Structure 1
Amino acid sequence: MVERVLATNAALETIGRLRNKHGPLMFHQSGGCSYGSAPMCHLDREFTLGRNDIRLGEIGGCPVYMDADQFENYRHVQLTIDVAVGHGSAFSMETPEGLRFLMRSRNLTNEEEAALKNAEQSDGARTRHEGERING
């Protein structure tokens, strides 16, 4: 099955360390300015999802969300979350370690896109469904 969001081994190792240190985490990518193009890692219990947030999938046991308006620009791509040395957002959990999460993308093939669409339509009963609004 094609996944909408993946993570590199380096990102998964970093996520594992952060989860062991801080507890459950989640990722959010907003459509805003400043760090809007970088995935932000938050404590799951301390981040409130908005009405326009959708769940893209899960990496390293952490759900990944994106603003629905921004998702329209990413609907046809597979996202891969990676990590690099550098300064990210002051609000993201990896920043104190001198790291920053970043997002890479590749275009989905027509077959992959159709498979994702079919999977999302057949799984409509699930809450917080990939590609669907959370609260609306």
Structure 2
Amino acid sequence: MTIELKKILVASDGSKNSRRALLRAGAIAKATGADLHVIHVGLLSRYTNPDQMNSNQYDRLKTEARSRLDNELEFAEENGIKVTKSHLRMGRVDSEVIRLGEEIGADMIAIGNRGMGALERILLGSDAESIVRHAPCDVIVFRDDE
């Protein structure tokens, strides 16, 4: 059986684990000839709802998110990773990653796992867990070495 990867989507938030996912997904893309897409989601939650923000607040969040995505693209370039296309979204991380995966027809989504404990997962939820459960394609989760 041959598994063909045409598009890999990496969710990146600038954390050590998401950078690990970017490096490893980049290696997979290079080995398979797949296009590599990188998404960063500027977090908008019930606590940072855009309807309750003025335009300056929203613009500041979006500018910060753009800066973080640009930093991730620089990191990729410095490490010899060719990114086909970058995507900036604003919203809930899990929803936006899943939605973009559907839009681009991703064959795989790569994410880092921050290793939240059970209590944090119950209180905060887990973007990685939600993406694994609801993604339209295969998901690979890269864990911390520790």
TM-score normalised over the length of structure 1 = 0.28
TM-score normalised over the length of structure 2 = 0.27
The structure with the largest helix share of the pair is 2
The structure with the largest strand share of the pair is 1
